[in-house]
Amino acid sequence: MELQFLGIGILTWILFLPVAGMILILLIPGERIQAIRITATAITGLQVILAAVIFRHFDRGIEGINSIEGFQFVEQFSWITVEAVPWFGRIEIFYFLGIDGLSVLMIMLTALIGLIGAISSWTITKQVKGYFALYMLLITGMMGVFLALDFFLFFIFWEVMLLPMYFLIGIWGGPRREYAAIKFFLYTFVGGILMMLVMLALYFSVAVPDPVTGELVHTFNLLHMMNPAYYVEGSLLAGVDTTWRYVAWMALFINFAIKIPLFPFHTWLPDAHVEAPTPISVILAGVLLKLGTYGLLRISFPIFPDGTMYFMIFMAVLGMISIIYGAFCALAQDDFKKLIAYSSISHMGIVVLGIAALNTQGMVGGVLQMFNHGIITAVLFLMVGVVYDRTGKRGLNDFGGLANQMPKYTGIAMVGMFAALGLPGLNGFVSELFSFLGAFEAYRWIAIVSVFGIIITAGYILWTLQRVFLGKTPEHLTNLKDLTTRELVCFIPLVILIILLGVYPSPAIELMNTSLSYLVQVVTVPAY
Amino acid sequence: MLQLSLLILLIPFAGFLILIFFGKRLPRQGDWLGTSFLGITLLMSVFLLISKIASIPGDTLSYSFSWVIIGNPDAGGFSVDLGVMIDNLTVVMLVVVMLVSFLVHLFSIGYMKDDPRYSRYFSYLGLFTFSMTGIVLTDNLLMMYIFWELVGISSYLLIGFWYEKKSASNAANKAFIVNRIGDAGMFIGIMILFIHFSTFSFDAIFSGIQAGDLPFQSTAWLTAAGILIFCGAVGKSAQFPLHVWLPDAMEGPTPVSALIHAATMVAAGGYLIARMFPILTAEALLVIAYIGAITALIAATIALTQHDIKKILAYSTISQLGYMVMALGVGAFTAGFMHLVTHAAFKAGLFLGAGSVIFAMHHALHQKHDHKTDAQDLRNMGGLKSRMPLTYWTFLIFTLAISGVPLTSGFLSKDEILAGTLAFSSLNGHYLLPVIGFVVAGLTAFYMFRLFILTFHGKHADESRVSDLKESPFTMTIPLMILAGLSTFVFYSFNPFAASGGWFFSAIERPLSLVPEALQPASAEVFAQAVSALHTPALILSIIIAGAGIFGAVWVYQWKKTSAVQISEKFGALYRGSFNKWYFDEMYQAVFINGTFIITKVLRWFDETIVDGIVNGAAYVFERFSVVNRWFDEHIIDGLVNLTALGTGVLGKVLRKLQTGKIQHYLAFVVLGMLVFYFIII
């Protein structure tokens, strides 16, 4: 399937539109704040339109994962070619984009959250130009990770994303922003180095015969790395179930676990969330965390099926710990943002639990949970942003009785919080259901213990609702205004999705069903 | 019929949507809309009941559609289907739900008149009715769970309806979280069945088990699945040990207590057990029977000593739910389900009657600007008979019904339950069950008449306080009269002393047990024989015991022959235990709530100090290292660099001497260099 505008593929459009936007923003004089905001919103809006076009034209029946024929809207050009470098041989790096059922939902999520984040960024008043320029770059970085099928390209976007995030937290953040930003940076950077080492090891282990000369050429092509036939005899990662392959799996896993974040690699998240400005929290929890689980599914699972099978219980246990531990920690918080940060850890644990089941329903549940958590947590962070903008406070005990004072806000917040609680009829329930069903089939007891997380979740959600929204409105809150139109514009699409996917999740599940069942096969049925 | 049942499901939901978005803008805030919607669905479900039972009593109709497809259904994947089904159980339950819901809507028009969130209230009622209907109509476990949670959230919203009060929002949280504990068990039970059968449908799971295909090929897992699903009922039907939420739920408006926390939602547990009955093993059923019996006893003993009119009714509800659960557990299927239906009518009536009293008290006290006196406390009542005659007489009928006096509906079902427990013990030797059953019957008669006498008879403690007290308006008394009518025997059986000949017993039959033979409870025939042999003794005994209970209450509270205070002092420890609800709340507070908070505090400390400490520690080590590194860099590496630089400098100085600027010298160097080169290569 090819889709082009002006001779340029749709994936390149959706990927580099924000870069174009960044250049445009940099050209606008810094004092014309409104123009900058409108540009950023328009660009991210265009991305949403492109995502909708992709949704319309995406073929639900194609598998993807490890064959180029399975990918859609593919664009592959030789990007960097260096002939005969000593040691390396011929280096070939491809600009290689494509989507399948695994990435398509993430593209939609990134585009949508990108737009919502841009609209909610209108409240930023400090150095607006710089902010939006970095914001645009961030979107490209995230989009690129989801689109790249060349490991080198994947790595580049992975690192590209890091820098704007660092500055967005470090400059526009709260009082302890420098600490949070550097912590975020170091954590992810360490992970990045591990990933780079694995990438190089894979590069030297995989070689593909040149179609013309027949000469063996090393490659960064992810799809080739998934094919055991391309591994060079005697190379570091050749073979099955070797120690080095396990080490490589673990190194990749740590990198992705930091991003997810899984216990015990999670402590950067609460700090980053607390200090980040609202829209950046939305992006961080809404999209960035999904890169971790996406990386596992895109890279670790199909390239190292042996390692994945070997470590699957380990993964499931970490998922379980994250679910319970995150929920307990959330219960102990009195800062609204920290509470949501820990709830994210808990909810991302469900993703890991689901995908570690290595069966179709668990996988579908996990990936759907990635999307759903993105939507729900965006609502939750926007929700905190609303009261933080009005009062400058976000302690759970600083509020009370908002239900009478701000009825619209309360209604929307309740939908978001009930979705996080896993209430049937809202989207969170569907993905949790399938994740648990998958996990239960694979590891009965781990799933049973994890189910108790939903009780604790009910506890912290309802307690938060009570403290913030119920009760009498205290004197100092009686002049709070209900949601503005701009805020409603941010919330409403998300709330509609929460309800829609809760009642009828099929459109989302159909997108990924074929690819994910195939991925399960790829991992569990060895090709050798 | 199926289309009709879908309409019955969706009309209340439409009402919810309209009222939540536009309620405030409608005339009268849309109360007429919610009420008339329920009137329509009531008529529909009555029509459904009659046509189902009259024309096709033996059939089960069902309709389902594929909701989600996971994987390839032809190759290891599955389709998750949602659907509805109609059998006799469904249609009876539908009428119960719609009837009580309609009457409560009607009652609420008066009761909630001046509430600032009047339309919100009616929209929540619509949401509840929709969710409850979903539970009734579902043909699969997934929808059961979905609507199970949805009634939970409607209950949460309505208990916490007056959320300005801290006690109300606390009660709402408690209700939801305690229910979640039961639901977690139910969810695990559902997972066990689903993973094995790849379907949620009752029909498919049942026929699988009938064919001898057990979850994980193990009878233990089958029993476990049954008990775990029953956990859902333990939560929702407030069974021991999760019964603690229901008394607190009385913080909600009284009509809500009648609808949700007496007649319908809490009875959903009974409905769930009835639905799952075919696959419950004898062991699972025994657990269920004992849980029911323990619950019935605990709650009845607590109800003896409470002062709050709604709290007493709440404990009596728990106790009666225990009866139903026990009945289903011993295999008295029809009796248990019948008690669910009769209890729905008279308990809804009791709550609405109490609502009528509270409403009248509240207004009377309001007239006197008295906001201190508790309008729900029995000690502030008495002598209301003459002021509220309609409420009085209907309340009397409900009290007789719950006490199990002949000619009432309660007598019919309770008598059958007691005969059932007797029969069960004669077959299996579990004599504790009938003993508890009869004791609770006596206690029930006693505490209900205590409530009745203290409210309506005697003299008011302070006449001047209630001089403005008057009967409630017709929207409130009409529902009472309808429910009072429905609490008589004629609607269930034309024989006032035996339910077994009536339409109910022929329409609702105990389903066959489908579990492997060795795990089955005593078969329906054997059980029925035992029941018919013991029916007459049970009947006589239950009349005597109910009479004794009533007499005791009249003796103490009406004739005041023995002072209640003296009795309570005589049984000091027991009295305090009962009055303090056997300290369940305190125990749970100390163990579970405080335990949870300790865990959360410890984990928070662990997270911030240990996990993050390691991170920060590592960062610190690296920082120190970098300081050392910097010294190393500045002094050693840079030293070397500087040394090199120095060397280069010296060399430069030397070489500069060579740069004379004269072309001849350069040429000479070039020639010299070439010569050197030449000799080296050769």
The angle at the Cα of A414, spanning A44 to A470, to the nearest 5 degrees, equals 135
> Helix A444-451 crosses helix B166-197 at what angle (to 10 degrees)?
160
pLDDT tens digits along B571-590: 888 888 888 888 888 888 88
Could you tell me if B412 and B492 are in contact, meaning their C-beta atoms sit under 8 angstroms apart?
Answer: yes
3-state DSSP: chain B helix, strand, coil percent, rounded to 5? 75, 5, 20
**B147/A506 CB distance under 8 A:** no
Q: For all residues of chain B together, what is the average pLDDT?
A: 88
Tell me the nearest-neighbour CA distance from A444 into chain B, angstroms. 9
CB of B70 less than 8 A from some CB of A: yes
Q: Is A208 on the interface with B (CB under 8 A)?
A: no
Phi, psi of A267 (to 5 degrees): -70, -10
Per-residue confidence band for B682, with pLDDT thresholds at 50, 70 and 90: low
How many angstroms separate the CA atoms of A45 and B490, rounded?
A: 68
pLDDT tens by residue, A338-365? 999 999 999 999 999 999 999 999 999 9
Q: Is A4 left (phi over 0), alpha (psi -120 to 50) or beta?
A: beta
Q: Is the pLDDT of residue A46 over 90?
A: yes
Q: CB-based contact (8 Å) between B647 and chain A?
A: no
Using a CB–CB cutoff of 8 Å, tell me whether A448 touches chain B: yes
Q: In this complex, is the C-beta atom of B218 within 8 Å of any C-beta atom belonging to chain A?
A: no
Residue B649, classified by CB atoms within 10 Å of its CB into exposed (0-12), middle (13-18) or buried (19+), is: exposed
Residue B58 pLDDT greater than 80, yes or no: yes
Compare all CA atoms of chain B with the CA of A418 and give the residue at the minimum distance. B153
The alpha-carbon gap from B236 to the nearest alpha carbon of chain A, in Å, equals 15
Label residue A237 by pLDDT band (50, 70, 90).
confident
Amino acid at A100: D
Contact A404/B164, CB-based, under 8 Å?
A: yes
Contacts of A454 (CB under 8 A, 6+ apart): A421, A422, A432, B180, B184, B187
**Residues of chain B positioned with their CB less than 8 A from the CB of A328:** 596, 599-600, 603
Q: What is the pLDDT of residue B206?
A: 92
pLDDT band, residue A527 (cuts 50/70/90) = low
Beta partners for residue B85, in sequence order: B62
**Which residue from A183, A434, A448 is facing B70, i.e. has the nearest CB?**
A434
- A contacts of B599 (beta carbons < 8 Å): 328
Q: How far apart are CA B45 and CA B102, in angstroms?
A: 12
Q: Which of A105, A153, A113, A109 is nearest to A135 (CA)?
A: A113
Among A110, A87, A115, residue whose Cα is nearest residue A99: A110
Residue A359: closest CA among A512, A505, A527, A517: A517
- Percent of chain B clearing pLDDT 90 (strictly above): 51
Residue B445 confidence (pLDDT): 94
Tell me the average pLDDT of chain A. Answer: 90
Non-local CB neighbours of A84 within 8 Å, separated by 6+ positions? A90
Closest to A260 (Cα-Cα) out of A182, A218, A315, A201: A315
Count of C-beta atoms within a 10 Å radius of residue B47: 14
Distance of CA A322 to the CA centre of its chain: 17
The more confident residue out of B214 and A1 is B214
Q: What is the pLDDT of residue A348?
A: 95
User: Of B311, B234, B309, B314, which is closest to residue B273 (Cα–Cα)?
Assistant: B234
Q: Which residues of B touch A433 (CB under 8 A)?
A: 142
Do B191 and A332 count as a contact with CB atoms less than 8 A apart?
Answer: no
CA distance B149 to chain A (A): 7
pLDDT, position A84: 67
β pairing state of B61-70 and B78-86? antiparallel
Contact criterion met (CB < 8 Å) for A459 and B596:
yes
Handedness of CA B618, B621, B625, B630 (dihedral sign): positive
* Closest Cβ–Cβ partner in A187, A458, A517 for B72: A517
pLDDT at position B625, please?
Answer: 78
> What's residue B320's pLDDT?
94
Q: Label residue B669 by pLDDT band (50, 70, 90).
A: low
Say if residues A467 and A337 touch (Cβ distance below 8 Å): no
Total count of residues recorded for chain A: 528
- CA A245, distance to chain mean position in Å, is 26
CB pairs A-B closer than 8 Å: 122
| pLDDT class of A301 with cuts at 50, 70, 90 | very high
> pLDDT for B464-493, tens place per residue?
777 778 888 888 899 999 999 999 998 888
**Which of B82, B180, B614 is the best mutation test for A, with the most CBs of A within 10 A?**
B180
Test the B interface: residue of A360, A399, A415 with most B CBs within 10 Å:
A360
Which of A149, A183, A525, A515 minimizes the C-alpha distance to A363? A515
pLDDT at B157 (0 to 100): 94
Chain B, 49-68: which have a CB under 8 Å from a chain A CB?
Answer: 67-68
User: B120 touching A, CB under 8 A?
Assistant: no
Model-level ipTM above the cut of 0.85: yes
For residue B287, count CB atoms less than 10 angstroms from its CB and return exposed for 0-12, middle for 13-18, buried for 19 or more. middle
8 A C-beta contact, residue B421 and residue B332: yes
Cα angle at B270 between B266 and B276, to 5 degrees?
Answer: 135
- Helix, coil or strand: residue A445: helix
- B150/A423 touch (CB, cutoff 8 Å), yes or no: yes
Provide the pLDDT for residue B647.
Answer: 76
